[in-house]
Amino acid sequence: DVKVTQSSRYLVKRTGEKVFLECVQDMDHENMFWYRQDPGLGLRLIYFSYDVKMKEKGDIPEGYSVSREKKERFSLILESASTNQTSMYLCASSLGLALLQYFGPGTRLTVL
Amino acid sequence: EDQVTQSPEALRLQEGESSSLNCSYTVSGLRGLFWYRQDPGKGPEFLFTLYSAGEEKEKERLKATLTKKESFLHITAPKPEDSATYLCAVQAGTSGSRLTFGEGTQLTVNP
């Protein structure tokens, strides 16, 4: 079974803090994705990566950056957290040209 | 721009009362349409992939169908454990590996 894990289920941070969200997959998938999910807005793509050290902006990259130094690990970074970044963050991965994305359990981030 | 619209936003059924969820899409060259189930506080769990109009897939009480403009998720004789949010997503030929998601339908099945 494909397993995608995220470093924290719940996280509370203060405005202005630097926040790291980590995602690890164990199936040697090339593609990894970060989404945020908000009521009424659905899942929106923040960043994705096709390979190590490769990254592409999604639909809402502002205020976020990413890092992929190893194939199995994809990190989302909030350089200076703001209250409007309070959300559920979901990581996903997929294999090469395969369409199916497997999701992690999510991180519920609250920025106070 | 790829668009996915799901309806209704919320659906409340009695146990055993069959119904359907709708996913309408507008994409340039559909490569695949996906249905996911999401329980509160958890990540989406894959249910079905459909690739071409006329295709159908079934799993227990769920059946997904696809036309050129929409997909339906039919739920036959639902049980309370089917309560969840059902998400539809599409992948277009112009979008690489990206998925475009609808906002979901929140299904509640009462005993």
* Contact with chain B for residue A106, Cβ under 8 A: yes
Alpha-carbon span A61 to A69, nearest angstrom = 19
Q: Per the CB < 8 Å rule, is A43 touching B46?
A: no
Of A65-69, A96-100, B57-61, the least confident? A96-100
Q: Per the CB < 8 Å rule, is B97 touching A99?
A: yes
A17–chain B nearest CA distance, Å: 24
Give pLDDT tens digits for A71-100: 999 999 999 999 999 999 999 999 876 678
Give pLDDT tens digits for A42-64: 899 999 999 999 999 999 999 99
* Contact with chain A for residue B36, Cβ under 8 A: yes
Give pLDDT tens digits for A26-36: 989 999 999 99
b/e map A43-58, b = 16+ CB within 10 Å: bbbbbbbeeeeebeeb
What is the residue type of B77? A
